[in-house]
Amino acid sequence: MYFVVTGKNSYLSSKELKLFGFDSFKRISKNILLIDSYNPDDLDKLGGVIKYGKIISFDQIKNYLNNKDIIGTNSKTFGLKLKKTFGIKKFKLIQPENTDLEVKNHGKEFLFFEDKVLLVEGYQKIDLYETIDYQKPSRGMKVGMMPSKLAHIMINLCTGSATGQVETIYDPFVGFGTTGFVANYFGYNFLGSDINTTPAKQNLSFWKQTDYYKNMQFTLFKNDVKTPFEKKFLNNVDCIVTEGWLGPVINNNTTQKMLTKNHEDIYNLYNAFLQNISKFYDNICMVFCFPIYSKMTNYGFGVLNKLEKGNMEFDFEKLGKPYKRDGQLVGRQIILAKK
Ligand SMILES: C[S@@+](CC[C@H](N)C(=O)[O-])C[C@H]1O[C@@H](n2cnc3c(N)ncnc32)[C@H](O)[C@@H]1O
């Protein structure tokens, strides 16, 4: 038997797992799922899986121990038992949902849950995420920072839901280029547009110099999503994956009136955008974010429902709860829209 540790938004992780063929599983804790088929190459492609591996017996642990290894585990009692039984010198305590780089790169990790020993065999692409999120030269809180891990999950949710082979992904609100870098890494060609392509251009030179860049295409052009789509090369697009525009930065002083106005502006922009997409494509699969305000009555879902009702040619699916860190005022409701 095998297991995966999923991210905080377990709905998105479960959906992604299902789309990649891991549909037979049981939950043993909030974030740990048992799966009965195992394909490390496929698990390695998932953004919502933090770590994965197989269930082993306590006796089998000795087969995986090496004197030089740094041992990680989630349970102090279990760590002490490893010390007593196998003579390991020390262990590091690690929460299942955290990745300890020392243990990942130079050690072994055993989780202990419900009397089961879980040997970790693979980890999320934390080095890739950190390079994209923290090393790209152009970044900025004002425009919002989409974690590359979220871009990764959204790409998989879209490519997994699309009919047919996906070769090219398009982000019409490309911003800093995050979606494009992740798409390139996973083998997709990428088209990105924005009313301001300067940040993405600056980051693209950096991206091409990293070890993660493998010569996939990355094309940038200037475009306002409110204007009709015309470019012929947009016919090559198989999936649209975009964070979109989340509105002006808000803080604790932002009033309900201002939030309502922001949502109305965002609605108008997205509505024009969806209509342009619909006119241009007969069939398209799209994953995008809609901002949800934690301080707003009904979190602003009313505007999202209005957007859905006004664009019935798309099948809308709200994917789980909004993606948001504790204390954040704006959450991202992930939406799958198919035409
Ligand atoms: C939140 S940022 C996207 C950031 C991007 N997901 C990233 O992490 O690199 C939103 C982007 O939408 C762009 N934008 C706003 N209105 C637009 C419009 N009408 N047409 C095209 N892009 C627009 C902004 O210039 C900004 O770059």
User: 42-60, pLDDT tens digit by residue?
Assistant: 999 999 999 999 999 999 9
Q: Which atom of ligand 1 is nearest to the CA of 145?
A: 8
Mean residue pLDDT of the chain comes to 93
pLDDT, one tens digit per residue, over 217-235 is 999 999 999 999 988 999 9
Residue 146: exposed, middle, or buried by beta-carbon count in 10 A (0-12, 13-18, 19+)?
Answer: buried
Mean pLDDT of 73-78: 96
pLDDT for 294? 83
> Which stretches within 33-162 are classed as H helix?
40-43, 76-86, 101-106, 126-130, 148-161
pLDDT digits (tens, 9 = 90+) for 181-192: 999 999 999 999
Alpha carbon nearest to ligand 1 atom 22, residue = 194
pLDDT band for 298, please (50, 70, 90 cuts): confident
Write out the two tokens for 190: 């990428």
Q: How far is the CA of 172 from the centre of ligand 1 (A)?
A: 8
Q: For 299-336, give the secondary structure using H, E and C.
A: HHHHHHHHHHHCCCCCEEEECCCCECCCCCCEEEEEEE
Does 327 have pLDDT greater than 90? Answer: no
Distance from the CA of 153 to the center of ligand 1, in angstroms?
Answer: 19
Q: How much distance in Å is there from the Cα of 37 to the middle of ligand 1?
A: 39
Q: Which atom of ligand 1 is nearest to the CA of 245?
A: 10
CA of 160 relative to ligand 1 center, distance in Å: 24
User: What mean pLDDT is predicted for residues 324-331?
Assistant: 84
Q: Is the pLDDT of residue 108 over 70?
A: yes
Query: For residue 145, what pLDDT is reported?
Result: 78
Better-scored residue on pLDDT, 248 or 278: 278
**Burial class of residue 240, CB neighbours in 10 A (0-12, 13-18, 19+):** buried
Ligand 1 centre to CA of 143 (Å) is 8
Residues 185-220 as b/e (b if ≥16 CB within 10 A, e otherwise) read: bbebbbbbbbeebebbeebbebbeeeebeeebebeb
Among 133, 136, 143, which residue has the most ligand 1 atoms within 8 Å of its CB, making it the best to mutate? 143
Q: Which residues form the pocket of ligand 1, taking CB atoms under 6 Å from any ligand atom?
A: 143-144, 146, 173, 175-179, 194-196, 224-226, 243, 245-246, 269
State pTM to two decimals.
0.95
* Residue 73 Cα to ligand 1 middle (Å): 41
Fold (CATH) for 126-338:
Rossmann fold (3.40.50)
Give residue 296's pLDDT band: very low, low, confident or very high (50, 70, 90).
confident
pLDDT surpasses 60 at 142: no
From the CA of 275, how far away is ligand 1's center (Å)? 18
Residue to mutate (ligand 1; options 134, 173, 201, 274; most atoms within 8 A of CB): 173
Domain boundaries, the chain: 2-123, 126-338
- The string of pLDDT tens digits covering residues 158-171 is 999 999 999 999 99
Q: What is the pLDDT of residue 182?
A: 98
Atom of ligand 1 nearest to the CA of 243: 6
Minimum mean pLDDT range among 99-103, 314-318, 326-330: 326-330
pLDDT score of 308: 94
In the chain, at which residue ranges do the beta strands (DSSP E only) sit? 2-6, 25-27, 32-35, 49-56, 70-73, 91-93, 107-113, 116-123, 168-171, 189-194, 218-222, 239-242, 285-293, 315-318, 330-338
The pLDDT, as a whole number, for residue 144 is: 56
The yes-or-no verdict on residue 95 having pLDDT over 90 is yes
